[in-house]
Amino acid sequence: MSELKNDRYLRALLKQPVDKTPVWMMRQAGRYLPEYKATRAEAGDFMSLCKNHDLACEVTLQPLRRYDLDAAILFSDILTIPDAMGCGLYFETGEGPRFERPTDTIEKIEKLAVPDPEDELGYVMKAVSTIRRELKGEVPLIGFSGSPWTLATYMVEGGSSKTFEKIKRMMYAEPQALHMLLDKLADSVTSYLNAQVKNGAQSLMIFDSWGGALSHSAYREFSLRYMQKIVDGLIRENEGRKVPVTLFTKGGGLWLEAMAETGCDALGLDWTIDIKDARARVGDKVALQGNMDPSMLYAPIPRIEEEVQQILAGYGEGTGHVFNLGHGIHQHVDPEHAGAFIEAVHKYSAQYHK
Global pTM reads 0.97
The pair phi, psi for residue 241, each rounded to 5°, is -135, 160
Selected catalytic residue, list 31, 66, 101, 241: 31
Judge whether 40 counts as a catalytic residue.
yes
pLDDT of residue 235: 98
Selected catalytic residue, list 27, 98, 132, 279: 27
- The domain locations on the chain are 33-291
Selected catalytic residue, list 7, 77, 83, 208: 77
Rounded Cα–Cα distance for residues 313 and 208 (Å): 27
> Looking at residue 15, what DSSP letter applies?
T
Q: Residue 227: is its pLDDT beyond 50?
A: yes
3-state helix vs strand vs coil in the chain, percent to 5: 50, 15, 35
pLDDT category at 230 given cuts 50, 70, 90 is: very high
The pair phi, psi for residue 20, each rounded to 5°, is -155, 165
> Looking at residue 84, what DSSP letter applies?
H
Q: Residue 92: is its pLDDT beyond 90?
A: no
Lowest mean pLDDT among 62-66, 164-168, 179-183, 282-286: 282-286
Residue 165: CB atoms within 10 Å: 11
Judge whether 11 counts as a catalytic residue.
no
Lowest mean pLDDT among 69-73, 91-95, 144-148, 309-313: 91-95
Q: pLDDT tens digits, residue range 70-84? A: 999 999 999 999 999
pLDDT of residue 337: 98
Please give the average per-residue pLDDT across 2-26, as a whole number. Answer: 95
Q: 327 among the known binding-site residues?
A: yes
Count Cα atoms within 13 angstroms, Cβ side, for 273.
Answer: 30
Q: 303 among the known binding-site residues?
A: no
Q: 30 among the known binding-site residues?
A: yes
For the chain, give the mean pLDDT. Answer: 97
pLDDT of residue 283: 87
Q: 27 among the known binding-site residues?
A: yes
Q: 8 among the known binding-site residues?
A: no
pLDDT of residue 1: 45
Please give the average per-residue pLDDT across 214-231, as a whole number. Answer: 98
Q: 154 among the known binding-site residues?
A: yes
The answer as to CATH 3.40.50.800 being correct for domain 33-291 is no
Q: Residue 2: is its pLDDT beyond 60?
A: no
Q: Residue 93: is its pLDDT beyond 90?
A: no
Please give the average per-residue pLDDT across 335-347, as a whole number. Answer: 98
Please give the average per-residue pLDDT across 247-276, as a whole number. Answer: 98
Selected catalytic residue, list 67, 154, 219, 348: 154
Judge whether 77 counts as a catalytic residue.
yes
Q: pLDDT tens digits, residue range 136-178? A: 999 999 999 999 999 999 999 999 999 999 999 999 999 999 9
The phi-psi region of residue 217 (left if phi > 0; otherwise alpha if psi is between -120 and 50; otherwise beta) is alpha
pLDDT of residue 221: 98
- Percent of the chain past pLDDT 70, that is, above it, reads 99
Judge whether 154 counts as a catalytic residue.
yes
Rounded Cα–Cα distance for residues 109 and 184 (Å): 9
Q: pLDDT tens digits, residue range 110-140? A: 999 999 999 999 999 999 999 999 999 999 9
